[in-house]
Structure 1
Amino acid sequence: MVIVSTCTGLRGFLQFGNISYGIEPLESSIGFEHVIYQVEPKKGDALLYAAKDMELRDLKYNIQSIKQPKAVTLESLAIVLVQLLSLSMGIAYDNVSECHCGVSICVMNPEAIINCNYSHHTSQKFVGMDSWKKEKIATVDRLVLLQEDVAQTTEVFNNIHTAPLSVCFIPHSHPSTKAFARDRQTDSRVKAKGEVCRISSGDCDVTEYCNGSSAVCEEDFYVHDGHPCGGEWVCVKGSCKDGKQQCRDLFGYGLCWTFFGNATSHLTPRTTGTMVHGHKGVQFQNWAKTYGCCPEMYYQPTSVEEVREVLTLARQQNKRVKVVGGGHSPSDIACTDGFMIHMGKMNRVLQVDKEKKQVTVEAGILLTDLHPQLDKYGLAMSNLGAVSDVTIAGVIGSGTHNTGVKHGILATQVVALTLMTADGAVLECSESSNADVFQAARVHLGCLGVILTVTLQCVPQFHLQETSFPSTLKEVLDNLDSHLKKSEYFRFHWFPHSENVNIIYQDHTNKAPSSASNWFWDYAIGFYLLEFLLWISTYLPCLVGWINRFFFWLLFNHKKESSNLSHKIFTYECRFKQHVQDWAIPREKTKEALLELKAMLEAHPNVVAHFPVEVRFTRSDEILLSPCFQRDSCYMNIIMYRPYGKDVPRLDYWLAYETIMKKFGGRPHWAKAHSCTRKDFEKMYPAFQKFCEIREKLDPTGMFLNSYLEKVFY
């Protein structure tokens, strides 16, 4: 038994014949040196479990290379050590047919090692280790040995390497010669009864001994299948394997089992293709810790087939399924008490078409991980939201947006996607294939199936310069069209209970990266002091207006400039836990709606609003449930912070805001909290019924629904 760690080395016991050795890393070693020492076994049958009743520091030792016969090279010694360690860890042998002397020698192929000349071992690189799924052990060319054990240990290594352990005769010839094969058939000098002819490969194997009358070793016996060999690992055909391998080897592809990794792990039978690992007892919370749930099972699939297995199991058990990504949605849109699928392990960039500037990615990739990948190819997304710790499937599914009258919501950058429906079928969707499903799935709400891949239309990498400066609400509303024309990515922040506005322009630039950030103003004042004052205001709400005006004066009353790669300007750190609402209204209604919101706050001094109200602008599109469906839109985002996790009264503000938004034809952001129902959405979205028909066709049993979506569709 050996515990392998790339940090600390090898630690455990090695058994060679009837002799047990301990192996431990040498303290303070910087060269991966180890101590090997002989240990006395406890009384009993299992020599492998010998006990070490002394401390290494109490023994005398010196550092030197292993002494071995000239015929045995260090490479050969290393091979034997690697084989024995590997077999002890349940690693199978390599395929014999793929290992040839002089061409490629596989370390985990004993026949190739024995039958090849020693010159091959020094002249060829060892390949293979095909079955080694664990981290590989580097070849060791120096070991630390107890001085009195050097000769004996070398002899053990030598005997192991120069004679095959699966025979019970004493050959005249060297194992590397043709005469050896003849001796194996004709030699009558049989080994004595009780001599080892096949060493145990680990906890799941047993050592075989010669019987004294036959030149052939006994049949290779091993511990019965299913016997535990450590943790959740079990014996399978002589090797210690994990549950996934047990499923495939013991039960076949038609009768697999699922490991549930909770405190009391257990197996649940099912009848699907391969193995998918699930967890019980997982508590999900969104980033702001404003919504959460306890799914019955929590899955993190790594492949399309594993996603299909979860859906198959859900159909068999009549369970609902929700997919979650970065968990940033400030609502319960991702919550479920059924099965939850987290796509974080399906996060690869699959294809980059430099000519078309299109990139295909797995649905679980975070934008924060995608950006540096695009940088490598000189590409970028044309627009981004404020947060990048979100998955691409979640970004498009919730209708995430930024600002810019020439730019749509982020889903408009999607040119193709693949979707797995409730029955396990995979649909390839684009404007030319499954076009209706494509226009629905670009803002899918997680109710059409599981998004597997997304193809994005990118643009050449670009830099942005951000310029912010103070203004007033009257000025920005009176000159709104002028501001929209001046800057490609224009937005502004209004500070409620005041006339103050902070205008932000973002535009293409060739300037070198620069930053206006300052820890004292950004964190000491803009976060720590602000949070403390907001916490005080939960007891004295009348302070909120003063806080808004005070922090505008402190942080936003002067011009600021910065420049960088586009994704570093678009996104920013979201420091406060918060409640938010964000509705899209027709762009031409911006001034009326914002002035009415201001008038409402002035008429109701008991209703308080944290800063800012963020105002952004987006181009129309044809996506069925996009808040910008067939109209240029203005988004108005309101916010209430949670200082030190404390909720603040917001119901009156929320209801008044929703009333104003509905009055001006607003549509709520799908990822954010709202009180709308199906009747509201039927009025808001001309294509709502069409989307419902597509959803019912793809998911007739409602597998992908939850309480949030039931309010939307029923």
Structure 2
Amino acid sequence: MTAPTWTNWARTVRCEPQHLIAALSEQDIVDAVLLGARRGLTVRAAGSGHSFNPLVVTDGVLVDLSGYAGIERLDRAAQRVTVRSGTSLAAVSTALERAGLALPNIGTLAEQTVAGAISTGNHGSGLKHAAFSDLVESLRLVTADGEVRELSRDATPDLLRCARTALGALGVISTVTLRCVPSFNLRTYERTEPLESLLERFEEWAGSAEHVSCSWLPWGDTVTSRLLRPTQDAPTARAGRQRYATTVSEVKSGLVGLAAGVAPTGVPRLSRLLAGRTGVPAAHVDVAHRVFTFPQPVKFVALEHALALEDVPEALRRLRGVLRRAGRYSPYSVLVRVGAGDDSPLSPAYGRTTGYVNLTVPRTVAFLELHRVIEQVLRELDGRPHWGKAHTATAEVLAPRYPAWSEFQRVRGELDPESRFTSDFVARVLGPVTPSPPAGRD
């Protein structure tokens, strides 16, 4: 009998678990965990597969949560929504819009599941906004013994802080209750200026709008900012088309990547041949979640590190020098976003106002080599890699970068003393589980 096969979105990771279980209920999740316990197998959970790392790879039990989706409760008065863990951000946003509510900040990928987004430290941009997991008020977690634990800010704050960004290492998330806000629209602005001008006033720029980001092609000396400001104005005519402007840019970059083949040195010339608009949407107004996100049809591999906000200018200056000396470039822009500090022990934004530096590359060896160069530069500036994006860091590298690392490991040892939720990748980035005596429950 052929073993079932699971593959991630980018088609860069695959595995053949002994048991691939499509969960449709919380009981299905419990049964899958208990099956792993009976047979001495590891248990991992997968959503939309948008991690570029072998985060969920296992030869044991793989729980597919993509079918365990939907809204369980929506409380307009309390501005809370409870969703199943396999629900996409797009589905949540659409349901909230109908109810006059919204998520205050999300990343660019609407197809990602709620559990995947919180577990890997997904984020949008804006100094007033922490990572997406900061919106979690409570969650239900299936732990290694098959018990369903209800974790909340009020009753179990320390456990919830750890579970909000946990890489699936504490258990399988069943449902999540998220904090919402009244529905709002965003007006977009864009502007292009010299890179050095922006870097000289980077922290001022970072707070110049509710949500900011900038894109920079490293062979050039200009940077394009995108500023988003809440507005009471109605969506502009044909606003829906604007979100596809970035999609067009992604497609162009993908074409350049194919044309450049094994010669990334030709990227600037090929990019200029396909030049036109940069792909940043023109000024317009639309519903917030449609401004935050855009369709991403081209498959790629991305690297991102979280830095202290004040270190981002130095990072970009170093990247400029390294890439220009090498003469090798990705066709995709370096993307910079910002965010508030976080209190979840494994959040890349833990304890500091953060700047996120992201570089996407085509899925070929020649381009992937760029990630090694860039990762070294960002690591030297105390960068913390995004858990779902490409990186080579190990627990030895990561532990000193997270002040509350030992707190997470203590909780991990309590909830998963037999390493039920580990994998080769999890062991690489978190190290082995050290069983700890159960703490008294609140």
TM-score with structure 2 length normalisation?
0.92
Does residue 534 (structure 1) correspond to residue 270 (structure 2)? The answer is no
Q: Which residue of 2 aligns with 1:154?
A: none
Distance 1:305 1:530, change over 3 A: closer
Q: Is the 8 A contact 1:381 1:458 kept in 2?
A: yes
Query: How far, CA to CA, are the matches of 1:663 and 1:435 in structure 2?
Result: 33
Does residue 309 (structure 1) correspond to residue 31 (structure 2)? The answer is yes
| TM superposition shift of 1:371 | 1.5
RMSD of aligned alpha carbons: 2.2
Query: How far, CA to CA, are the matches of 2:350 and 2:117 in structure 1?
Result: 17
| TM superposition shift of 1:691 | 0.7
Query: How far, CA to CA, are the matches of 1:558 and 1:416 in structure 2?
Result: 36
Q: 2:353 aligns with which of 623, 632, 649?
A: 632
Letter of the aligned partner of 1:547 in structure 2?
L
Matches within 5 A, 1:282-431: 282-431=4-153
Q: Is the 8 A contact 2:384 2:401 kept in 1?
A: yes
Distance 1:314 1:584, change over 3 A: same
Q: 2:269 aligns with which of 546, 559, 562?
A: 546
Q: Which residue of 2 aligns with 1:174?
A: none
Give secondary structure in 1 for the equivalent of 2:72. Answer: strand
Does residue 619 (structure 1) correspond to residue 340 (structure 2)? The answer is yes
Q: Which residue of 2 aligns with 1:667?
A: 384
Does residue 555 (structure 1) correspond to residue 277 (structure 2)? The answer is yes
| TM superposition shift of 1:466 | 1.5
Distance 1:541 1:655, change over 3 A: closer
| TM superposition shift of 1:483 | 2.2
Distance 1:323 1:694, change over 3 A: same
| TM superposition shift of 1:474 | 1.2
Q: Is the 8 A contact 1:314 1:320 kept in 2?
A: yes
Does residue 650 (structure 1) correspond to residue 367 (structure 2)? The answer is yes
| TM superposition shift of 1:306 | 2.1
Q: Is the 8 A contact 1:380 1:458 kept in 2?
A: yes
Give CA deviations for 1:468-496 in whole Å, capped at 9, x if unaligned: 23222112212323322321100100112
| TM superposition shift of 1:326 | 1.1
Distance 1:592 1:299, change over 3 A: same
- Structure 2: 5+ residue stretches without partners: 432-442
Q: Is the 8 A contact 1:469 1:560 kept in 2?
A: no
Q: Which has the larger radius of gyration?
A: 1
Does residue 594 (structure 1) correspond to residue 316 (structure 2)? The answer is yes
Q: Is the 8 A contact 2:87 2:114 kept in 1?
A: yes
Letter of the aligned partner of 2:405 in structure 1?
F
Does residue 699 (structure 1) correspond to residue 416 (structure 2)? The answer is yes
Q: Is the 8 A contact 1:384 1:567 kept in 2?
A: yes
Matches within 5 A, 1:472-551: 472-514=194-236, 515=238, 522=245, 526=249, 530-551=253-274
- Structure 1: 5+ residue stretches without partners: 1-263, 265-279
Give CA deviations for 1:657-676 in whole Å, capped at 9, x if unaligned: 12211211110000112111
Distance 1:516 1:696, change over 3 A: same
Q: Which moved more, 1:591-600 or 1:427-436?
A: 427-436
Does residue 711 (structure 1) correspond to residue 434 (structure 2)? The answer is no
Query: How far, CA to CA, are the matches of 1:659 and 1:300 in structure 2?
Result: 39
| TM superposition shift of 1:286 | 1.1
Distance 1:561 1:486, change over 3 A: same
| TM superposition shift of 1:556 | 2.6
Q: Is the 8 A contact 1:516 1:561 kept in 2?
A: no
Give secondary structure in 1 for the equivalent of 2:90. Answer: helix
Q: Is the 8 A contact 1:497 1:548 kept in 2?
A: no
Q: Is the 8 A contact 1:320 1:705 kept in 2?
A: yes
Query: How far, CA to CA, are the matches of 1:452 and 1:705 in structure 2?
Result: 18
Q: Is the 8 A contact 2:253 2:271 kept in 1?
A: no
Percent of matched pairs sharing the same residue: 28
Q: Is the 8 A contact 2:240 2:286 kept in 1?
A: no
Distance 1:655 1:381, change over 3 A: same
Flag the structure with more relative contact order, 1 or 2, with Cα contacts below 8 A and sequence separation at least 6: 2
Query: How far, CA to CA, are the matches of 2:151 and 2:144 in structure 1?
Result: 16
Q: Is the 8 A contact 2:246 2:279 kept in 1?
A: no
Give secondary structure in 2 for the equivalent of 1:561. Answer: coil
